[in-house]
Structure 1
């Protein structure tokens, strides 16, 4: 009987010592400073449609075609994602608009031809947005709060689904260069900074998903069409290891189309709050 007790005590002590060793190893294996991954590149081509349905109701339709650098080919080496975002947008007043809608993103394999990865994986999301416009130095400053609820998994065969929330804040302005106002024929510059936080059970020590610094230059062709191009730098924590940071340069080109679907007699000049 005494022998059994001693064996039990010895076993408990052994388990305790092994646990201490494992803990010490885990702590020792964690670096004492942050690690930044090699800088990667990408190309994002965006289409932004804004269609007026009534005096205050709009339909937003957004499409992204994204490629990423691969091997010796920067920016366009392979497919990255195809991104579809839609929403109904309600213009509360000339200083506030709110949006709600779905997203469907297609994530392409990081290693084309590798059977250990699926060619395409779907990533659905639900998003809502609150866009505030405020006068600033003769122009308008925009504060955008966007919240996304996302279901995702990696392209690895058999990977599990995970759920996360994204909390996004963006500040930007559209500053005319060759005119006093943003009218057709105007070039403009857009200072643009966004921080993206994330939360959820899989997020242990990596709450900052992305910091995006995205200056761009644009041109207004007419009231229905404008273009922008810019180079964006991003950095953020990786999901599995918060001490590992990403580093990306992304060339972005965008086309913005605005159409009015109301009957002609219902159209009249009014306040416009646009992204």
Structure 2
């Protein structure tokens, strides 16, 4: 079996303009990214640089224009069934109770309803929502909905977890609680995680490795940093460690110019 859970190899993603099909936009170019089994990797980069595009390629939701994807050494064809995807935007079904939302993936896989609901309740307990299974999404706070979405992904016991800025909409206290919760659950089973975030502090606090992407178009990796902070970590406490501050300065030194380029591009588009 390959040591890598997920490999994106020489990926290029080019899109045609909606208004003029003769015009093309290359979002991602010459990008190779590997995540080992049990490794927590974060990807940071400017707004609109193609981070989510790479995640969609890894999930099998988007076929790259060039390059290849491997899952545990095997070429990916179609949807990545060994991956669970936690989206940035809410993916809970509003007409289903929390427990039904968590159970739905298990039922799609053929698990009997009673067994699926039992496992769903167990996962709600594990993410701190025991007793809230009968609530509908609109009856839950933002943090509770994120916990439900996390339980929905983890209940499927995926070998790879893909996370697209899952906590960006939360207040800082709830966000740190969720970050620690993810780290605790990840430490228990050591799944491969590919985590997309705009927040450099979050990336360093949670990860084994941080990959920096250039500003678009044709984004590509321009830096890679091993995060050698000891585990287990508390995401609030680890920020006070001298090594954290040192790593932050190193990574920000690479990321800063790309963020400024991305910001200038956004202003140009708005003009």
Tell me the TM-score range normalised by the shorter chain: under 0.3
Q: TM-score, normalised by structure 2?
A: 0.24
Higher strand share: 1
Q: TM-score, normalised by structure 1?
A: 0.23
* Higher-RCO chain (CA-CA 8 Å, sequence separation at least 6): 2
